[in-house]
Structure 1
Amino acid sequence: MLFPQTYISELKDKIEIANNIVLISHFNPDGDTIGAVSSLYHYLKVQNKNSKVIVPNEFPNFLDFVMTDVSYIIASKNNNEARNLIDQADLIICLDFNAFHRAGDFIKDILLSSLKPKVLIDHHLEPEIKNFDLVFSKINVSSTSELLYEVLSLIEEKPFLTKDIAQGIYVGICTDTGSFSFSCNHRRTYEVVAELVDNGVDVEYVHQEVYNTYSENRLRLLGFCLSERLTVFHKQKAAMIYLSKEDLKRFNYQIGDCEGIVNFCLSMKGIEFGVL
């Protein structure tokens, strides 16, 4: 078993007795953290639980479709509401970050002062175990979303996937592996994906929403990065792309416009390290 049965039973009990559950993503949210909170929100909705998602700051527009039917707030725009939600929560579940500071200073300070039970589901190294009541942490998975699938599978003895639950998990796996180009060498990842597709995920639709909805400014920014801001260090097998505040202003930068740009560094033959 991936996790001890005692862990699974404790999480199940915490969910069952909680009336208000808060799900928290990390700061500068990506597809994995958004996919995970969306999926878990829909799972809890099926369980008739009152849950709310707190996203520390704005997420990329190309992830809007994942959050369409999710009740969430952007903490950077609603400080008081975010604080009240955490204060009133019976259970707090943090997804895809291993330490409170990864949720931003504002959320970090509230979590540090909160005495409410906290659960972590995450796939990053060195989780701050002391700050959580229950930790589900594995690094040899593609994403937190894949790990969430495994945790829910252990909780549920019967099939639990709906289309919305499956879609969130798929988005997390797809984006955190660069559309299955890295961190996906385990057979289990594809077994999970097969289950997701069997339960309604439209792979073509997700790919279209995530990768083919660039704005003109975002596409021009990408071209500018590659033509004017790419530096290659051949001896060090490294490449770097940099952008100034003026560059971002020139291309009317929006949250998420730089998502994936650094991967172009790694697309060059012989380059093993890329940074943006």
Structure 2
Amino acid sequence: MNSEDISKIKELLSVPQKIVIIPHKNPDGDAIGSTLGLWHYLKNNGQDATVISPNDAPKFLKWMPGSADILNFEAENSQAKKAITEATLIFTLDFNHLGRVGQMHSFLEEATATFIMIDHHQEPSDYALVTYSDVTMSSTCEMVYNFIAYLDDTSKITPEIANCLYTGIMTDTGSFKFSSTTSKTHKIVAELIDKGAENTRIHNLVYDTNSPSRLHLLGCALKNMVILEEFNTAYITLSQDELDTYKYQKGDTEGFVNYGLTLNGIRFAVIFIENKEEGIIKISFRSEGDFSVNEFARAYFHGGGHNNAAGGKSDLSLKETADYFVNLLPKHLKELTK
């Protein structure tokens, strides 16, 4: 953020505000970690703040301090609408287009509050008074730490804030292995540990609380994996019937797409997941090196994200979507095999 933006925020927060903090639909560790981290900070500074999530978060994030206070727009609709209507200040975190909040979209467009965006995805929309956007950042949680630092308030980071921000940085960096992890990221993580982040406990709570059904679903996903060596690509399909057979719960497929990249020589990994309730195929893309899955997702699958991690969707059937994807690969042969 520049000095002008910092001054605007300091002025806004110098008086009592009714604040709403919003993550994207189907929130992940970075979305929940950043919103709760900011929520704790604002509450501790005397602000009236509420986190409203478009829908529920995965079970493996429910331990996070403040999670029980999140309003679920789907389940607590009237209360959430009232909070948005009455808000004087709205923070949108870990997304940069209002279309990423599902059925909350129209309510945010009609809101009279001042908007502040904190996000690290590409091509931000222009809806906020202050837009803190930086695609080089590992995570929105790292940006929330910086946001607090810009306000000269890192001394106010409590163990609750530290645990939330550490979780988002850990999950969005693939446990610190993605190329977006910088020396500054590690310095911030060290600072968060010093301020009370329980790094070992957080890792266990996020990654080591699997149900038997989730591991069986993972086995099904790996069995379905198709390896296309000529394109250095691997993809996974999961049908609605398979999800139902293994008692799918929200968040159960988190990280499945990354298994393709563990194969020697694979640079491009994809997972296609059927969602009959929404009538779409949800897609996650991952890559290594300079092959941009953000550009690929934007060009062909109504999506986007980062250079090495992106999402998309398809209105075709599961088989038609996979066939369409495979037929696209020859266009990118040079990029995938150079």
Superposed displacement of residue 185, structure 1: 3.8
Q: Does 1:255 align with 2:250?
A: yes
Q: Does 1:136 align with 2:164?
A: no
Partners of 2:146 and 2:211 in 1: CA distance: 35
2:37 alignment partner AA = S
Q: Does 1:127 align with 2:124?
A: yes
Q: Does 1:177 align with 2:173?
A: yes
After superposition, residues 68-87 of structure 1 pair within 5 angstroms as 68=66, 71-87=69-85
56-65 or 13-22, which deviates more? 13-22
Q: Who is 2:262 aligned against?
A: 267
User: Which 5+ residue runs of structure 1 have no aligned equivalent?
Assistant: none
CA contact (8 A) 1:18 1:90 kept: no
Q: Does 1:112 align with 2:109?
A: yes
Q: Who is 2:289 aligned against?
A: none
Q: Who is 2:198 aligned against?
A: 202
Q: Who is 1:15 aligned against?
A: 13
Give the 3 Å change call, closer, same or farther, for CA 177–77 of structure 1 in structure 2.
same
Q: Who is 2:185 aligned against?
A: 189
Q: Does 1:65 align with 2:60?
A: no
Give the 3 Å change call, closer, same or farther, for CA 268–87 of structure 1 in structure 2.
same
Q: Residue deviations 1:201-226, cap 9 Å, x none?
A: 11110000000001111111001111
Q: Who is 2:235 aligned against?
A: 240
Partners of 1:84 and 1:4 in 2: CA distance: 33
> What secondary structure is seen at the aligned counterpart in 2 of 1:26?
coil
Q: Who is 2:163 aligned against?
A: 167
Partners of 1:93 and 1:222 in 2: CA distance: 35
4-13 or 208-217, which deviates more? 4-13
User: Which 5+ residue runs of structure 2 have no aligned equivalent?
Assistant: 272-338
Please, what is the CA RMSD of the aligned residues?
Answer: 1.2
Q: Residue deviations 1:27-82, cap 9 Å, x none?
A: 01000000001100110121011111001111110001114465211111122222
Superposed displacement of residue 115, structure 1: 2.1
Partners of 1:92 and 1:69 in 2: CA distance: 19
> What secondary structure is seen at the aligned counterpart in 2 of 1:266?
helix
Q: Who is 1:45 aligned against?
A: 43
Give the 3 Å change call, closer, same or farther, for CA 28–89 of structure 1 in structure 2.
same
Q: Who is 2:212 aligned against?
A: 216
Q: Does 1:146 align with 2:161?
A: no
> What secondary structure is seen at the aligned counterpart in 2 of 1:9?
helix
Superposed displacement of residue 123, structure 1: 0.4
2:71 alignment partner AA = I
Partners of 2:148 and 2:73 in 1: CA distance: 27
Partners of 1:174 and 1:63 in 2: CA distance: 13
Partners of 1:20 and 1:68 in 2: CA distance: 18
Partners of 2:67 and 2:24 in 1: CA distance: 20
> What secondary structure is seen at the aligned counterpart in 2 of 1:179?
coil
CA contact (8 A) 1:38 1:70 kept: no
Superposed displacement of residue 181, structure 1: 1.4
> What secondary structure is seen at the aligned counterpart in 2 of 1:21?
strand
TM-score by length of 2: 0.78
CA contact (8 A) 2:25 2:55 kept: yes
Superposed displacement of residue 259, structure 1: 0.3
Partners of 2:195 and 2:74 in 1: CA distance: 35
